[in-house]
C-alpha cells in the first residue's frame, strides 16, 4: 500500500507541475524558446495540411496520411506546450485532478495514434513499391478513410484502460508531479492506494502498442528495401528510396525516443524522463513537417506553386479584378 506524507484521508483535488526547477535563471529564455517552437510547429503543420488540400498533385493516399499526421502533431504540442509555458512564468503551475487526467489521456491517445499512423504510412509505401499494379485498387479513398479512422480508434482503445485505472486511484499527498506535464507514469507514483495494476496495465499497453507498430513498420520496410534493391535502373532505385527517406527519418526519431521512455526498464531519474518527453512530445512534432518538406520534391513544388499564386494575386480583390478584366 503506497502512502505519502499526508495519510489522513484528505483527497488531493489538484496537482502542482514542477517543470524544470533546476534552471531558475533560464525560465524566461526557455519560455521564449518553447513558444517559438510551438508557433513554428503549428504554422509548419498547418502549411502541410493546406498544401495537401489545395494542390491536386498531393491528392494521394501518402499525403492524405501525412496531413492527418500533421493534424495529430498539432494536437500533440497543443496538449503539452501551453501548460509548460505557463509553468515558466508562474509561481506554481497548478492543474486540477480532472484536468490532469484529461491531459494524460489525450497525450496517450495521440502517442498511440501516431504509432499507428506511422505504420499506415509504411504500409502505403509497401503497396506503392512492392505491389504497384494493385495500389490504386487497394488504396482507394474509402479504404484510406477507414484506415485513418482505425488508427484514431486504436489510439483511443490503447489509452483508455490505463487512464481509467489511473483515474480510479486515490491521491492524498504529495501532489507535486516531477514533470512538465501530466503523464500517466509520474501521476501513478503519487497515488496513496495500490497502483500495481495501473502500472502493469500501463506498461503492457505502452510496450505492446509501441513494439507491435514498430515491428510492423520494420517488417514492411524490409520488404520495401528488398524490392528497391531488385529495381534494375539506378534512377528507379533512387526515386523509390526518396519516397521512403522522409518517413524512415521520422520513424527513427519517434521510435527511438518512445522506446527509451516506455520500453526500457522503469527509470527513477525524472530529469532524463523530462528530456526524453521533450524530444518525442515537442521536438519531433516540430521537426516532422520540415523533414517531409525538405526531403520531398512534391511538397516543395506545391509550396513554390502556392507562393507563386500568392505573388500573382496578392489579395482577393485584385484577383477578382484581373479575372473580370480578362473576361471583358
Judged against a pLDDT cut of 50, whether residue 319 lies above it is answered with no
> Mean of the pLDDT values across residues 71-95?
90
Considering only residues 90 and 14, tell me which one the structure prediction assigns the higher pLDDT. 14
Judged against a pLDDT cut of 90, whether residue 10 lies above it is answered with no
Q: Check residue 295 and give its pLDDT.
A: 65
Q: Check residue 156 and give its pLDDT.
A: 95
Judged against a pLDDT cut of 50, whether residue 324 lies above it is answered with no
Q: Work out the pLDDT band at 314, boundaries 50, 70, 90.
A: low
> Mean of the pLDDT values across residues 222-243?
83
Judged against a pLDDT cut of 50, whether residue 252 lies above it is answered with yes
Judged against a pLDDT cut of 90, whether residue 39 lies above it is answered with yes
Q: Among 184, 168, 176, which residue's Cα sits nearest to residue 15?
A: 176
Instruction: Return the minimum-mean-pLDDT range out of 40-54, 160-174, 210-224, 229-243.
Output: 229-243
**SS3 annotation, the chain:** CCCCCCCCCCCCCEEEECCCCCCHHHHHHHHHHHHHHHHHHHHHHHHHHHHHHHCHHHCCHHHHHHHHHHHHHHHHHHHHHHHHHHHHHCCCEEEEHHHHHHHHHHHHHHHHHHHHHHHHHHHHHHHHHHCHHHHHHHCCHHHHHHHHHHHHHHHHHHHHHHHHHHHCCCCCCCCEECCCCCCHHHHHCCCCCCCHHHHHHHHHHHHHHHHHHHHHHHHHHHHHHHHHHCCCCHHHHHHHHHHHHHHHHHHHHHHHHHHHHHHCCCCCCHHHHHHHHHHHHHHHHHHHHHHHHHCCHHHHHHHHHHHHHHHHCCCHHHHHHHHHHHHC
The CATH fold assigned to 14-295 is Rhopdopsin 7-helix transmembrane proteins (1.20.1070)
Q: Among 109, 141, 57, 77, which residue's Cα sits nearest to residue 288?
A: 77
Judged against a pLDDT cut of 50, whether residue 300 lies above it is answered with yes
Q: Check residue 244 and give its pLDDT.
A: 83
Q: Check residue 92 and give its pLDDT.
A: 77
> Mean of the pLDDT values across residues 71-92?
90
Specify the residue for cell string 539506378: 234
The predicted-structure confidence for 135-175, as pLDDT tens digits, reads as follows: 999 999 999 999 999 999 999 999 999 999 999 999 987 89
Instruction: Return the minimum-mean-pLDDT range out of 17-26, 101-110, 154-163, 265-274.
Output: 265-274
Q: Work out the pLDDT band at 310, boundaries 50, 70, 90.
A: low
Judged against a pLDDT cut of 90, whether residue 108 lies above it is answered with yes
Output the pTM of the full model: 0.85
Average pLDDT, the chain: 84
Check: CB of residue 251 under 8 Å from CB of residue 215. Answer: no
Q: At 148, list the grid cell.
A: 485513418
Q: Check residue 65 and give its pLDDT.
A: 94
Amino acid at each position: 500500500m503506497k502512502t505519502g506524507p499526508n495519510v489522513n484521508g484528505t483527497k488531493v483535488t489538484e496537482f502542482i507541475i514542477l517543470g524544470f526547477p533546476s534552471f531558475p535563471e533560464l525560465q524566461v529564455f526557455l519560455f521564449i524558446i518553447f513558444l517559438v517552437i510551438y508557433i513554428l510547429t503549428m504554422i509548419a503543420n498547418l502549411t502541410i495540411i493546406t498544401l495537401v488540400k489545395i494542390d491536386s498533385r498531393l491528392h494521394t493516399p501518402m499525403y492524405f496520411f501525412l496531413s492527418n499526421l500533421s493534424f495529430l502533431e498539432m494536437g500533440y504540442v497543443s496538449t503539452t506546450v501551453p501548460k509548460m509555458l505557463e509553468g515558466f512564468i508562474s509561481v506554481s503551475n497548478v492543474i486540477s485532478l480532472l484536468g490532469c487526467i484529461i491531459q494524460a489521456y489525450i497525450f496517450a491517445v495521440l502517442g498511440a495514434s501516431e504509432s499507428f499512423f506511422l505504420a499506415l504510412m509504411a504500409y502505403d509505401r509497401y503497396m506503392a513499391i512492392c505491389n504497384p499494379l494493385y495500389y490504386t485498387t487497394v488504396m482507394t479513398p474509402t479504404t484510406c478513410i477507414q484506415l485513418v479512422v482505425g488508427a484514431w480508434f486504436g489510439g483511443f482503445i490503447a489509452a483508455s484502460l490505463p487512464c481509467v485505472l489511473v483515474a480510479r486511484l486515490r491521491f492524498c499527498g504529495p501532489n507535486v508531479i516531477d514533470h512538465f506535464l501530466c503523464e500517466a507514469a509520474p501521476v501513478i507514483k503519487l497515488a496513496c492506494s495500490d497502483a500495481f495494476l495501473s502500472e502493469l496495465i500501463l506498461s503492457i499497453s505502452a510496450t505492446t502498442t509501441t513494439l507491435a507498430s514498430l515491428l510492423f513498420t520494420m517488417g514492411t520496410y524490409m520488404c520495401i528495401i528488398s524490392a528497391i534493391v531488385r529495381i534494375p535502373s539506378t534512377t528507379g532505385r533512387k526515386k523509390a528510396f526518396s519516397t521512403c527517406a522522409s518517413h524512415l527519418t521520422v520513424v527513427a526519431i519517434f521510435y527511438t525516443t518512445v522506446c527509451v521512455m516506455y520500453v526500457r526498464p522503469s527509470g527513477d531519474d525524472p530529469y532524463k524522463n523530462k528530456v526524453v518527453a521533450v524530444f518525442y512530445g515537442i521536438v519531433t512534432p516540430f521537426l516532422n513537417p520540415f523533414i517531409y518538406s525538405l526531403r520531398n520534391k512534391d511538397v516543395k513544388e506545391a509550396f513554390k506553386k502556392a507562393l507563386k499564386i500568392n505573388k500573382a494575386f496578392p489579395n482577393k480583390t485584385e484577383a477578382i479584378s484581373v479575372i473580370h478584366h480578362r473576361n471583358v
